[in-house]
Structure 1
Amino acid sequence: MYKSAKRGSSVYESLRRAIIEQALRPGVKLPEDSIGETFGVSRTIVRNALVRLDAEGLVDIQLNRGASVAEPTIEEAYDIFDMRNCLEREVMQRLCSMDPKPIVKALEAHLKEESASLGKDSTRSIRLAGEFHILLAELTGSRILANYVNEIVSRCSLILARFAQVHSAECGVEEHVEIIAAIAEQNAEAAIEKMGAHLHSVQNRALLNPEDSREENIVEILSRYRGIDKAN
């Protein structure tokens, strides 16, 4: 039972990261048999992982049609960004009322990783940009707030994968620097303003792209994600 649960968690984490890093793009089919063969697990384990991702809005499961990476509509995109603004505004408010030293230390360590990935590893850069915002929420100490931000940031990755211009999905590292500076000064008004401007610029980059006709090889893509829970 424990071994099965561990395998299921590994498949879930691998699929989730592949979606967030935009290796698996919106609309890509997720056949249970191919995924099971890639990770060496049963279709039942794969199905459970897909159900979890469906609950998070990252996968769309349809009766008799199977699962695919979710394809947010433009209306959903605007709604998600509105909700994200509300959540991250609350994050800024809470962080600026706390001792800034440990917060800034953690954020600067993450920023160092972001900077190192720019121009070298686009998939890692995309993921780290989103994880910066998740880390902000985690540092508030509110598990509920962190869970909500985690889910909505992940769904924003899908929006950017579907609508953004090529290579425009990376959050601006310089904008992250400005947000950290405002938190260090415990200036809630400035932090909220910087975060709002940052999210507005991310949203503005979400412009419609021509349909990408490239054929996705899911086995080839997911083979790069085997064992990520062991490596991280």
Structure 2
Amino acid sequence: MSDNKTTLTDAVHDLLRKAIIEQALKPGMRLPEDTVGEQFGVSRTIVRHALVRLENQGLVVTRRNRGAFVAEPSKEEAQHVFAVRRCLEKEVVRILCQGMAQSGYDQLEAHLRREHSVNGKNGPVSIRLAGEFHMLLAELTGNDVLARFVGDVVLRCSLIMSLYARSHSSDCAVDEHSQIIEAIWEGDAPRAIEIMEHHLGAVANRAELSSKPENIKAILSHYGRDLAQ
């Protein structure tokens, strides 16, 4: 692929990824190559390459004779993704607690300011910025393989949140991000790991991934209000 095509593919991939993570493109929505190409002014070939990359990241699925769609992860798959993410991100903070350049802290603090600026104002953007914070942490380890795996799993978690998260739960725990930075600065790996585990556990809980048994009392109490009127 020529450099120009590679650049265009990167651009289309990044725009579609952003639209998916910010919940403009919803899970299950079809992504016709011709429509995407027309909107971005590129060929279907460019779009196809971008969609393949998104599929490799778990954000898009291709269905035979039907084309590409925004992925709809099952709850079981979502649980597996979060389990892997917890393992990876514990390793990220452990590595960073061994030492990180001042420029790394500067980048984290700058990102934290961006999160504060939209917190409570724009849920989808908050979700995207929250994910980018974790991806930045992974990049700062200097381990490109780890950063790539974390990036993919964080993107999939953002998609999962758009599908399963409770209403009014999109605000990221910015304070916990600040606490993670503080623990890394102090080189306190046990504390950083503890905060990260709690933080990711809270995110997963907002996604309501656990199958909860139906409670007949709770169900019927709702309908019983009509009888009491």
Aligned alpha-carbon RMSD (Å): 1.4
**Residue type of the alignment partner of 1:85:** R
In structure 2, the residue matched to 1:175 is 176
Question: Would you say the 8 A contact 1:87–1:145 is kept in 2?
Answer: yes
Q: How do 1:174-213 and structure 2 match up within 5 A?
A: 174-207=175-208
Report whether the alignment pairs 1:105 with 2:137.
Answer: no
* Aligned partner letter, 1:66: G
Residue in 2 aligned with 1:117? Answer: 118
Residue 63 (structure 1) aligned with residue 94 (structure 2): no
Deviation at 1:96, TM superposition (A): 0.3
Q: Any idea what SS the aligned residue of 1:60 has?
A: strand
Q: Distance in 1 between matches of 2:34 and 2:178?
A: 44
TM-score, structure 1 as length reference: 0.86
Q: 1:24 to 1:103 in 2, by over 3 A?
A: same
Cα deviations across residues 158-214 of structure 1 (Å, max 9, x unaligned)?
111110012313321011111111111100000000000000000000027xxxxxx
**2:33 partner amino acid:** E
Whole-angstrom CA distance in 2 between matches of 1:161 and 1:121? 13
> Which of the pair has more CA radius of gyration?
2
Indicate if the aligned counterparts of 2:60 and 2:71 stay in contact, CA closer than 8 A: yes
TM-score normalised to structure 2 length: 0.87
Secondary structure, aligned partner of 2:68? strand
Aligned-pair distance for 1:107? 1.1
Offset, 1:100? 6.0
Amino acid of the structure 2 residue aligned with 1:172: A
**AA of the residue aligned to 1:81:** F
Cα separation, 1, equivalents of 2:3 and 2:134: 32
- Rounded Cα–Cα distance in structure 2 between residues aligned with 1:60 and 1:162: 15
The range that moved more, 112-121 or 144-153, is: 112-121
Query: Which residue in the other structure is 2:11 paired with?
Result: 10
CA distance in 1, matches of 2:119, 2:134: 17
Distance 1:167 1:18 in 2: 20
Say if 1:23 and 1:167 are closer, same or farther in 2 by CA, change over 3 A.
farther
Residue of structure 2 equivalent to 1:142: 143
Q: Please report how far the alpha carbon of residue 48 of structure 1 lies from its aligned counterpart in structure 2 after TM superposition.
A: 1.1
Contact 2:138 2:146 in 1 (8 A): yes
> 2: distance between equivalents of 1:22 and 1:43?
23
Q: State the shift of 1:150 in Å.
A: 0.3
Letter in 2 for 1:96: C
Deviates more, 1:104-113 or 1:114-123: 114-123
Number of corresponding residues: 208
Q: Secondary structure at the match of 1:67?
A: strand
CA distance in 1, matches of 2:170, 2:121: 15
Determine what percentage of the aligned residue pairs are the same residue. Answer: 54
**Contact map agreement 1:59 1:68 (CA 8 A) in 2:** yes
CA shift, 1:106, in A, is 1.9
Match of 2:49 in 1: 48
Deviation, 1:58, is: 0.6
